[in-house]
Amino acid sequence: MTTTDQKSNEGTTPRGTDDVVLEVRDLSVTFPSDDGPLPAVREVSYVLRRGEALGIVGESGSGKSVTSMAIMGLLPKNARVEGSARVLGQEVVGLRDEKISRIRGNRIAMIFQDPLTSLNPVYTVGYQIAEAVLAHHKVGKKAAMDRALDLLKLVGIPHPEQRIKQYPHELSGGMRQRVVIAIAMANEPDVIIADEPTTALDVTVQAQVLEALEAARKETGAALVLITHDLGVVAGHVDRVGVMYGGRMVEMGPVEDVFYRPRMPYALGLLGSLPRLDEDRGERLTPILGTPPSLLALPTGCAFSPRCPMARDVCHEKEPRLLATDENGERVRVPVEDTSAHTAACHFSDQLGETAPEDLFRATSVQADTVVKLDAAEERAEEALDEISDSDTGSTEESGRERETILTVKDLVKNFPIRSKGLLKRKVGEVQAVSGISLDLREKETLALVGESGCGKSTTARLILQLIKQTSGEVSYMGQPLHTLSPRQMRPLRRDLQLVFQDPFASLDPRMTVSDIIAEPMRIHGRSNSDAKGRVKELLDLVGLSSEHGSRYPHEFSGGQRQRIGIARALALNPKVLLLDEPVSALDVSIQAGVINLLEDLQEELGLSYMFVSHDLSVVKHIADRVAVMYLGKIVETGTTEELFRAPSHPYTQALISAIPLPDPVKERTRERIVVTGDVPSPADPPSGCRFRTRCPKFADELSESERTKCVEEPPELIDRGSGHRDACHYSKVMELLSASRS
């Protein structure tokens, strides 16, 4: 509105300092805590040029969000901020609130992670956008509302004239995040900081919101700091990327350099621990061993050294500086303004060369004499597994022949009644959570159930376990019809069917010791105490924890370790089937890989069958034998993992696959995209005929009027298209979206 003339040089990349919009130098943030000062951010420096996009990646606790909050002046008062951050040349660190609020939202704006909580529930979205305009411009309310309307159009909200008068709870998550983006754009800022802007959203919606962000940025010419843990999102949307670890920037450079030629073992490890859509199944993930450091007890020297396979003495003694490597392989200092430099904080960054992650972070202990230092716990897990496989040789013999079906689901339906609010609680409608699902789970296989939130995948898992009763349909396990059993009759069968939960923090009783937690299922099923004790030890070993961990409480463990405890509990009764409900989605990438590997090992050695419920197609592609894709309570496509990812035939599956960002800058920017529009319709009122038709790109763009009629009137059946690959689309057509090798 006011500074359009300044922004005309967008697109050019002059090397001077005059186009620097954000300059951060030696920024440190310390929080006081009961256990002493907590250094959340340590000496972070970077510059951001006009119109540029910088990604900052890191796991939880790496300090990536705190850095941005410090720049915005939004940290709690007790935080100590040192160093400097300049927005358009003006220092903002230490600025008084009245002064910094003139810059905030005006020259530098921020987008937060959770769109469901970012907007005030008691004001209309129009008011909340207009408020941002009025905070910095002396215009009338009418003018501000007009501007709000323009902004809603800009971020791609349909029917903005109606939306502007609505309250946040009347909008979906994706729409709300667009509103937040509109607020950030309101005053045409020079810098936008987006802190995990799409983490809380489903993938297809994520793609839409990222597009809206791009469009809005193009319109205003703002520079972007994109903070995320998702390397795929970074690969597709930024020019440069910085990697943070333990409160420090440990690597920074142009996005291709960092992704293809990482100079810091952590960045390499992070890339290696990602399950990838563009790789075939079977390759083992290479997790980074150990856990991210506690900021209260940072190791001396390099913060990554305890987990680093390359670490030598100097790494444990001296913290490396962020330096570039010149042509001669010397580590040299470059000015922070040099935005083309590739810098890394590693004493041996020159030696990393072309190393592949699996060479450095080997996941097994076979090569005991190599540089690989295995975590003691991982080793114990290996040994425990070896013992089991020695004693139980029968488990791998029969892999050749056709696996037997052990769990069958037929025409499963679950409707939740919607009741009126009055005294009478009349039934006014139904949420059709699951609408006729049929599945088989075979012995020792992993069947993945994938779909976006609200598609009914978790409800299906709960129905299978008979934790809730189906409206109709059948569930049978080893020929026994579970849906007819009383809770008492069901009990002995529960030994065989166990569940691992999504949230490792909420699923363990904080007042019970780890031993008690793991022993509880055995106690319920009447095993003696001494018996259970021995078994707990065995189980702890099995999941890579040590037996002395048993006397501790859940809060003493990290997320990954807690999930291992949850898995140990599920294994306590020697189950045959595990239902895994998003078991790794709450974990950081480097930790997630370890848990995935553990699940794969356990399946191999114990002969388990997995029903793997997930929204993450990359993980599914890595772990599953077969996949069923769900949309609004129905299965739309199912087949072997290999087949389904190589040649998806349902438009929804195609859209899902193409919406998942690949952690590869070139592939991500050049791949073919199938974009779906809008949000998932309410399961209380699903569309007639094909439930996907309202968002289907094929329905919208390719089909003729007469062809569409069929989609509207006739619900498609799940039809076999050969070799067990089935889809529910009247006009299905195979499409190859992924090329299966890393460039």
Partner 1 sequence: MLVYTVRRVLGTIPVLILASVLTFVLIDVSGDPLSELRMQQPPPDPSVIELQEERLYLDRSMPERYWLWVTGIGGNGDIGLLQGEFGPSTQSNSYDIGAQIAERLGVTLRLVGAAMLLALGLAILAGVVSAMRQYSKIDYTLTFIGFLALSMPVFWFGGIMQQAGVTFNDLVGTQVFATIGDGLYQAQGEDLWGRITNAFAYMTLPTIVLMLTSFASWSRYQRTSMLEVLNSDYVRLARAKGLPNRVVVRRHALRTALIPLTTVVAVGIAGVVDGTVLTEQVFQWRGLGEFFVTAVNENDSYALMAWLLLSGVVVILANLVADILYGVLDPRIRYE
Residues near partner 1 (CB under 8 A) are 72, 74, 97-98, 101-106, 109-110, 112, 114, 117-122, 131-132, 135-136, 167, 169-170, 180, 183, 186-187, 421-423
DSSP 547: G
Minimum distance from residue 3 beta carbon to partner 1 (Å): 15
Q: Determine how β-strand 248-254 pairs with β-strand 577-581.
A: unpaired
Q: Which is nearer to partner 1, 117 or 551 (CB)?
A: 117
Minimum distance from residue 133 beta carbon to partner 1 (Å): 9
Q: Which is nearer to partner 1, 180 or 589 (CB)?
A: 180
Q: Are the C-beta atoms of 370 and 353 separated by less than 8 Å? A: no
In sequence order, what E strands does 576-620 have?
Answer: 577-581, 609-614
Q: Determine how β-strand 80-87 pairs with β-strand 90-91.
A: antiparallel
CA 304, chain centre distance (Å): 23
Containing 643, the helix (H) or strand (E) segment is helix 641-646
Picking from 561, 617, 560, the residue whose alpha carbon sits closest to that of residue 590 is: 560
Minimum distance from residue 180 beta carbon to partner 1 (Å): 7
Rounded-to-integer distance, Cα 130 and Cα 140, Å: 10
Q: Which is nearer to partner 1, 2 or 294 (CB)?
A: 2
Rounded-to-integer distance, Cα 361 and Cα 269, Å: 7
Q: Which is nearer to partner 1, 297 or 424 (CB)?
A: 424
Q: Which is nearer to partner 1, 119 or 662 (CB)?
A: 119
Q: Are the C-beta atoms of 251 and 291 separated by less than 8 Å? A: no
Q: Which is nearer to partner 1, 400 or 422 (CB)?
A: 422
Q: Which is nearer to partner 1, 15 or 102 (CB)?
A: 102
Picking from 179, 241, 187, the residue whose alpha carbon sits closest to that of residue 212 is: 179
Q: Which is nearer to partner 1, 74 or 719 (CB)?
A: 74
Minimum distance from residue 225 beta carbon to partner 1 (Å): 13
Rounded-to-integer distance, Cα 440 and Cα 615, Å: 20
Q: Which is nearer to partner 1, 102 or 318 (CB)?
A: 102
Helix (H, G, I), strand (E, B) or coil at 470: coil
Minimum distance from residue 130 beta carbon to partner 1 (Å): 11
Tokens 């720049």 sit on residue: 71
Minimum distance from residue 100 beta carbon to partner 1 (Å): 8
Minimum distance from residue 112 beta carbon to partner 1 (Å): 6
Picking from 52, 103, 51, 87, the residue whose alpha carbon sits closest to that of residue 221 is: 51
Minimum distance from residue 114 beta carbon to partner 1 (Å): 6
Minimum distance from residue 179 beta carbon to partner 1 (Å): 10
Q: Are the C-beta atoms of 450 and 630 separated by less than 8 Å? A: yes
Rounded-to-integer distance, Cα 62 and Cα 179, Å: 28
Picking from 243, 641, 664, 686, the residue whose alpha carbon sits closest to that of residue 435 is: 686
525 Cβ partners below 8 Å, 6+ apart? Answer: 491, 495, 573
